[in-house]
Amino acid sequence: MVSEREVKRLRKIAIRLRKHIVRMTGLAKSGHPGGSLSAADIVTVLFFYKMRLDPKNPHWKERDIFILSKGHATPVLYAALAEAGFFPVDELADFRKLTSHLQGHPDRLMTPGVEMSTGSLGQGLSVANGVALAFKLDRSPRRVYVLIGDGEMQEGQIWEAAMTASHYKLDNLTAILDYNGLQIDGPVNSIKSVEPVAEKWRAFGWEVRKIDGHDIKQIIEALEWAETVKGKPSFIIAKTVKGKGVSFMEGKVKFHGVPPSEDEMVIALKELEEREKELENEGV
């Protein structure tokens, strides 16, 4: 069982990632803060607790693989890679600049630690299948994790990939749904309902678990559960809040693809810094 000290360490990192997300999108005056903030706790646990990685050797042959299928949420991925040591944190200030290696969507040829160039929604899970199948053929213990968006589930390719993963019994593959309920045009279930989510994925041959996507302990427990699943891929439905951690962004569809203004950036960073201080003062 994970210790309270470890949970606190991870919660601190998640706040740092959120601060980076706010700064990056605010300075760039561009980007997708809402869905990056909602995924911060999930990405924190993956990069700083669960996955085997070597930032000094991004192509280490024993590493686990993370694919950001909802490729527009690059701020959370870049923040995690920088905090993990794949490149200097101060380079985050160059987000979306023309000559930067931190473009609006991830490019595996430009950015250390990026495993797939994503942006065309629905494709990440298919690539994750291929990687997981290769690991199976190699009898490798490596695992593949793919983060998908709830609006992304409206893509037909997701369901083709879901069938493929169960057909090949890819139990080294875990897909995590960032279920924040909002996409660029409004509420997901108003645009095109994706429910019943759990029942659909089970019908496609996956083991399914539902969690609070902002509860560090639940995320850890779900990822450890996924490692025990045999003969099937695993699907974690992480219920999240769009814009989580910044009061005026939470649950607001506007911030799917609209960055904070200069004034909003100041307010958001102040909120996150206050939460950081509160966490520091909490006993363990």
Instruction: Give per-residue pLDDT as tens, 136-190.
Output: 999 999 999 999 999 999 999 999 999 999 999 999 999 999 999 999 999 999 9
Residues ≥6 apart with Cβ < 8 Å to 79: 16, 17, 20, 21, 24, 36, 40, 92
Question: Average pLDDT, stretch 215-226?
Answer: 98
CA 274, CA 54: separation in Å to the nearest integer?
A: 32
Please report the pLDDT score of residue 156 as a whole number.
97
**Residue 282 reports pLDDT greater than 90:** no
207 sits in which H/E element: strand 207-212
Please report the pLDDT score of residue 1 as a whole number.
84
**Cβ atoms < 10 Å from Cβ of 225:** 15
**Residue 204 reports pLDDT greater than 90:** yes
Give one DSSP letter per residue of 218-264, joined into a string: HHHHHHHHHTT--SS-EEEEEE--TTTTSTTTTT-GGGGS----HHH
Strands in 173-179's sheet, in edge-to-edge order, are 65-68, 144-149, 173-179, 234-239, 207-212
Structure tokens that stand for 280 in this block:
């520091």
The mean predicted confidence, pLDDT, of the chain is 97
Share of the chain above pLDDT 70, in %: 100
CA dist 201 to 149, 166, 178, 270, Å? Answer: 14, 10, 15, 40
* Nearest alpha-carbon partner for 36 in 257, 284, 271: 257
**Residue 284 reports pLDDT greater than 90:** no
Question: To 10 degrees, what angle do helices 4-28 and 262-281 make?
Answer: 170
> What pTM did the predictor assign?
0.97
* Nearest alpha-carbon partner for 240 in 37, 24, 32, 17: 37
Please report the pLDDT score of residue 218 as a whole number.
98
**b/e map 202-215, b = 16+ CB within 10 Å:** eebbbbbbbbebbe
Could you tell me which residues are beta bridge partners of residue 237?
A: 177, 210
**Residue 53 reports pLDDT greater than 90:** yes
Please report the pLDDT score of residue 188 as a whole number.
98
Please report the pLDDT score of residue 274 as a whole number.
98
Domains and CATH numbers, the chain: 4-281 (3.40.50.970)
